[in-house]
Amino acid sequence: MTLKTLLPLLFSLCATVLAPLPALADAQSRLSNFVNQTKGLKAQFSQTVFDRNGRKIQESSGTLFFSRPGKFRWVYQKPYAQLLVGDGKRLWIYDEDLEQVTVRKLDLAIGDSPAALLAGENDIEKRFNLKDAGNKDGLDWVEAAPKSKDGSFEMVLLGFKGDSLQAMELKDNFGQTTLLRFSNLERNPALGGSLFRFTPPKGVDVISDK
């Protein structure tokens, strides 16, 4: 799974330690509460991809920002530089090494993906089937399976510790699993609008789905 394939995860930026929230009955309620109370976020992330046999095949890290609904900036710094920006209408993907920018319509890029789960409108139960998924590795998990069968992933698991969302796992339709962990999170920070705008650098190739 390439970084581009993991595009729908750019909003999973919520997988990190949050400020304490009121005690809630279960992980599913915590997820709904988080979505309702989180309008923006800034964090660092680490991302690990495993194949169907559990073998680690990719590691990456970087910084992310998002402002609901539909605006985000996802900066991969390792193993190579890549920038993803959602301006509310379009998704821009800038590969520095390739000197190439890819532009997609944001609604087509997100759809019923993990992006819609945490950074879209407050309509989680319209797009996903939610259920508690037990305790593992010290976290209480909630499972979110898309109601649409047209996407590229099977389910997303979100792990809570107490009232804090700390981890997210994506299981795709190819048997691969992506684990995301976040650190240095700032919830509802003041984010300038320039973070969510992108102008292709001069001289790069621009590929658009328009």
Q: Which tens digit of pLDDT belongs to each residue from 20-41?
A: 333 334 667 777 777 777 788 8
pTM, two decimal places: 0.74
Residue 159 lies in a domain: yes
Residue 2 lies in a domain: no
Q: Return the amino acid letter for 148.
A: S
Residue 82 lies in a domain: yes
- β-pair partners for 43: 64
Sheet holding 56-67, edge to edge: 128-136, 139-146, 153-161, 164-172, 177-187, 40-50, 56-67, 71-78, 82-87, 90-95, 100-105, 205-208
CATH code at position 35: 2.50.20.10
The residue range of the domain holding 51 is 7-191
Our count of domains for the chain comes to 1
Are 146 and 41 within 8 A, CB to CB? Answer: no
Residue 110 lies in a domain: yes
Closest CA to 168 of 3, 9, 6, 52: 9
pLDDT for the residue 154: 84
Residue 11 lies in a domain: yes
pLDDT for the residue 50: 95
Residue 202 lies in a domain: no
Q: Do strands 153-161 and 139-146 pair parallel, antiparallel, or not at all (unpaired)?
A: antiparallel
Closest CA to 168 of 118, 112, 111: 118
pLDDT for the residue 124: 64
Please give the chain's pLDDT, 210 residues, in tens: 444 545 444 443 333 233 333 333 466 777 777 777 778 888 888 889 999 999 999 999 999 888 877 788 889 888 888 998 888 888 899 999 999 999 988 776 655 455 555 555 555 667 778 888 888 888 888 888 888 776 667 888 887 776 666 788 888 888 899 898 878 878 889 999 999 999 999 999 999 876
